[in-house]
Amino acid sequence: MKLQVHTIKPARGSKHSHKKLGRGNASGHGTTAGRGGKGQTARSGGRRGLRLKGFKRLMQSTPKLRGFKSLKIKPAEVYLSDLDKNFEDNATVDLAALKEKGIIGINDAVAKILNKGELTKKLSVVGIKATKIAKELVEKAGGSIK
């Protein structure tokens, strides 16, 4: 059989007729037409709201969460003066070393060096972000940022 406009049919099992309601008791869907007993649930629009009734007072009494919580991780701030105070000359500064010295918190995942204070020691900074001016000051002191 050739595929032509008048021979196109939907896939087998993809179509089915809807349930005929309210066509007499012999059909099995008469009297209440598949809606069960009387009352609010038998009416149109009466089903959805009932689920919330017992929960409504609790839901209304719960205060709304105000504001916005960003998923972006904010880096812990590290000042040049902190690095100068806590590290020796020619030391390597990384996230683990900052945590060990107590400059940043144990749970901090990211740190950033800010240009507050002075740096007189030669430090090798690894895996930590820095502001443009802080990077210049570290390199001016003889250190490097990787």
Average pLDDT over residues 14-19: 91
Average pLDDT for the chain: 88
Beta strands per DSSP E along 10-141: 76-79, 92-93, 111-114, 124-125, 129-130
Query: What is the SS3 assignment for 29-51?
Result: CCCCCCCCCCCHHHCCCCCHHHH
Domain 76-145 architecture? Ribosomal Protein L15; Chain: K; domain 2 (3.100)
Give yes or no for a contact between 121 and 141, defined as CB atoms under 8 angstroms apart.
yes
Distance between CA atoms of 143 and 146, rounded to whole angstroms?
10
* Percent above pLDDT 70 for the chain: 95
Distance between CA atoms of 135 and 145, rounded to whole angstroms?
7
Q: Please report, for the chain, the start and end positions of each structural domain, with discontinuous segments joined by +.
A: 76-145
Give me the pLDDT at residue 50, please: 62
